[in-house]
Structure 1
Amino acid sequence: MLHSIRYKFIIITTVLIIFSANLVFFLAINEHEDLYRQSVKQNLDAMSSNISDSLLRVMSEQVDLFSITTELLGFDRYEHIKFVNVFDADWQLIQSYVHPNYLELESFKPELISIQPKDLPYAVTITNEGLVALKAIGEEQFPIGYLLIVQDFKKPLNESKISLFYSAAPFVVLIIALTIIISFWIYQRLLSPLLALSKFTQKVEKSTNYKLQYQVTGHDEVSQLGNDINALLQTIDSQVQTNHKHTAQLLVQTHSMERLANYDILTGLPNRMFFMDLLKLELASSKSNDRDVAIMFFDVDSFKGVNDTLGHETGDMLLQAVAKKVKSYLRSNDIIARLGGDEFLIMLPNITEQSIVIDIAESIIEGMKEPFTINEWDVPAGISIGIASAKEAEFDINTFISNADIAMYTSKEKGKGAYTIFHHKMLEDNKRKAQVANLISHAIAQNEFELFYQLKMSNTGEAQGLEALIRWQSKELGFVSPGEFIPIAEQAGKIKAITQWVITQVFKDMQMLKQLMGNNVLVSMNLSSHDLKDHNFIHTVKSKLLEHSVDISNIQFEITESSYLENFENANQFFNQVKVMGGSIALDDFGTGYSSLSYLTKIEIDTLKIDRMFVNQYASSAKDTAVLQAILDLGQRLGLKICSEGIETTDQANYLVSNGSDEMQGYYFAKPVCIAQLPHAIEQAKILFKELTITSK
Structure 2
Amino acid sequence: MSQGNVVQISADVVSMDTDPHWMRLRDALLTLACTPFHDAEAVRKRLLITAAEALEVDRVSLWLFEPGLSTIVCVAIYESGKGVSHPGTRLSAVAAPDYFQSLQGLLTLAAADALVDPRTRQLSDDYLKPLGIGAMLDVPVRQFGELIGILCHEHTGSPREWLVTERVFAAAIGALCSQVMEFEKLRRSERERQHALFHDQLTGLANRALFLERLDSARKDGDAALLVLDVDGFGEFAKAFGPAFGDQLLRETALRLEQGVRRGELAGRMGNDEFALLLVGERGVMDAVQRATDLRAKMQAGMIIDGQDVRVRFSIGLVPSIRHYESAQDILRDAEIAQNSAARAGRDFVQIFESGMEEPIRRRLELEADIRRAIEASEFVFHLQPIFSRDGKLDGAEALIRWEHPRRGLLLPSDFLQVAEDSGLLSLVQWPLLGDLFGQVARWRSAKCPRFAIAINFSSVQFTLAGFPDQLLAVALRAGLPADAISVEVTENSLLTNQERDLSVIHRLASAGIGLSLDDFGTGYASITHLAQLPLSTVKIDRSFVSRAVDDPRYGAIIETLIRLAHNLSLGVVAEGIETPAQLRMLSDGECDQMQGFHLGRPVSIAEFESCWLR
RMSD: 5.3
Corresponding residue of 1:645: 576
Give the letter for the 2:383 counterpart: F
Distance (Å, rounded) in 1 between the aligned partners of 2:305 and 2:250:
10
Distance (Å, rounded) in 1 between the aligned partners of 2:292 and 2:555:
33
Question: 2:401 is paired with a residue of what secondary structure?
Answer: strand
Give the letter for the 2:436 counterpart: Q
Corresponding residue of 2:404: 473
Give the letter for the 1:642 counterpart: V
- Equivalenced residue count is 411
Corresponding residue of 1:435: 369
Distance (Å, rounded) in 2 between the aligned partners of 1:656 and 1:333:
70
**8 Å Cα contact 2:515/2:537 also seen in 1:** yes
2:385 pairs with one of 446, 454, 463: 454
Give the letter for the 2:376 counterpart: H
How is 1:188-587 mapped onto 2 (pairs within 5 angstroms)?
Answer: 280=216, 283=219, 295-302=227-234, 303-304=237-238, 308=242, 311=245, 315=249, 319=253, 323=257, 337-339=267-269, 342-345=273-276, 372=303, 377-387=308-318, 394=325, 396-409=327-340, 412=343, 416-417=347-348, 423-444=357-378, 448-475=379-406, 478-510=409-441, 513-514=444-445, 518-532=449-463, 535-565=466-496, 568=499, 571-587=502-518
Question: 1:588 is paired with a residue of what secondary structure?
Answer: strand
1:322 CA displacement: 6.4
Gaps of 5+ in 1: 1-260, 684-697
**8 Å Cα contact 1:298/1:343 also seen in 2:** yes
Deviations, residues 219-272 of structure 1 (Å, cap 9, x unaligned): xxxxxxxxxxxxxxxxxxxxxxxxxxxxxxxxxxxxxxxxxx999999999997
**8 Å Cα contact 2:216/2:327 also seen in 1:** no
Give the letter for the 1:579 counterpart: A
Deviates more, 1:426-435 or 1:403-412: 403-412
Query: Percentage identity across aligned positions?
Result: 24
Distance (Å, rounded) in 2 between the aligned partners of 1:364 and 1:671:
52
Q: 1:388 to 1:512 in 2, by over 3 A?
A: farther
1:503 CA displacement: 1.9
1:607 CA displacement: 1.1
1:452 CA displacement: 1.1
**8 Å Cα contact 1:293/1:351 also seen in 2:** no
Distance (Å, rounded) in 2 between the aligned partners of 1:512 and 1:489:
31
**8 Å Cα contact 1:338/1:344 also seen in 2:** yes
Distance (Å, rounded) in 2 between the aligned partners of 1:549 and 1:316:
42
Gaps of 5+ in 2: 1-194
Give the letter for the 1:299 counterpart: V
Distance (Å, rounded) in 1 between the aligned partners of 2:452 and 2:573:
17
Distance (Å, rounded) in 2 between the aligned partners of 1:333 and 1:665:
64
Q: Which has the higher helix share?
A: 1
Distance (Å, rounded) in 2 between the aligned partners of 1:528 and 1:662:
25
Q: 1:280 to 1:586 in 2, by over 3 A?
A: same
**8 Å Cα contact 2:225/2:288 also seen in 1:** no
Q: 1:550 to 1:596 in 2, by over 3 A?
A: same
Deviations, residues 132-178 of structure 1 (Å, cap 9, x unaligned): xxxxxxxxxxxxxxxxxxxxxxxxxxxxxxxxxxxxxxxxxxxxxxx
Question: 2:518 is paired with a residue of what secondary structure?
Answer: strand
Deviations, residues 653-696 of structure 1 (Å, cap 9, x unaligned): 5665565643333334332112344478769xxxxxxxxxxxxx
Q: 1:418 to 1:624 in 2, by over 3 A?
A: farther
Question: 2:336 is paired with a residue of what secondary structure?
Answer: helix
Distance (Å, rounded) in 2 between the aligned partners of 1:269 and 1:653:
62
Distance (Å, rounded) in 1 between the aligned partners of 2:566 and 2:211:
55
1:284 CA displacement: 5.2
Give the number of the structure whose alpha-carbon radius of gyration is greater: 1
Q: 1:277 to 1:492 in 2, by over 3 A?
A: closer
**8 Å Cα contact 1:393/1:399 also seen in 2:** no
Q: 1:591 to 1:517 in 2, by over 3 A?
A: farther
Give the letter for the 2:233 counterpart: D
Question: 1:425 is paired with a residue of what secondary structure?
Answer: helix
Distance (Å, rounded) in 1 between the aligned partners of 2:520 and 2:363:
27
Q: 1:368 to 1:641 in 2, by over 3 A?
A: farther
1:443 CA displacement: 2.5
How is 1:8-47 mapped onto 2 (pairs within 5 angstroms)?
Answer: none
Q: 1:312 to 1:483 in 2, by over 3 A?
A: closer
Distance (Å, rounded) in 1 between the aligned partners of 2:331 and 2:537:
51
How is 1:157-172 mapped onto 2 (pairs within 5 angstroms)?
Answer: none
Deviations, residues 541-560 of structure 1 (Å, cap 9, x unaligned): 44443443333332212233
Please give the TM-score of this superposition, normalised by the length of structure 1. Answer: 0.46
Distance (Å, rounded) in 1 between the aligned partners of 2:264 and 2:575:
51
1:575 CA displacement: 3.9
**8 Å Cα contact 2:383/2:604 also seen in 1:** yes
**8 Å Cα contact 1:294/1:351 also seen in 2:** no
1:506 CA displacement: 1.9
Distance (Å, rounded) in 1 between the aligned partners of 2:332 and 2:439:
48
Give the letter for the 1:297 counterpart: L
**8 Å Cα contact 2:383/2:400 also seen in 1:** yes
Distance (Å, rounded) in 2 between the aligned partners of 1:565 and 1:577:
17
Distance (Å, rounded) in 2 between the aligned partners of 1:484 and 1:318:
37
Please give the TM-score of this superposition, normalised by the length of structure 2. Answer: 0.51
Q: 1:320 to 1:424 in 2, by over 3 A?
A: closer
Corresponding residue of 2:598: 667
Corresponding residue of 1:91: none
Distance (Å, rounded) in 2 between the aligned partners of 1:654 and 1:336:
68
1:311 CA displacement: 4.8
How is 1:609-648 mapped onto 2 (pairs within 5 angstroms)?
Answer: 609-613=540-544, 615=546, 631-632=562-563, 634-648=565-579
Distance (Å, rounded) in 1 between the aligned partners of 2:255 and 2:440:
52
Deviations, residues 167-196 of structure 1 (Å, cap 9, x unaligned): xxxxxxxxxxxxxxxxxxxxxxxxxxxxxx
Question: 2:386 is paired with a residue of what secondary structure?
Answer: strand
Q: 1:626 to 1:551 in 2, by over 3 A?
A: same
Q: 1:537 to 1:658 in 2, by over 3 A?
A: same
Distance (Å, rounded) in 2 between the aligned partners of 1:484 and 1:364:
36
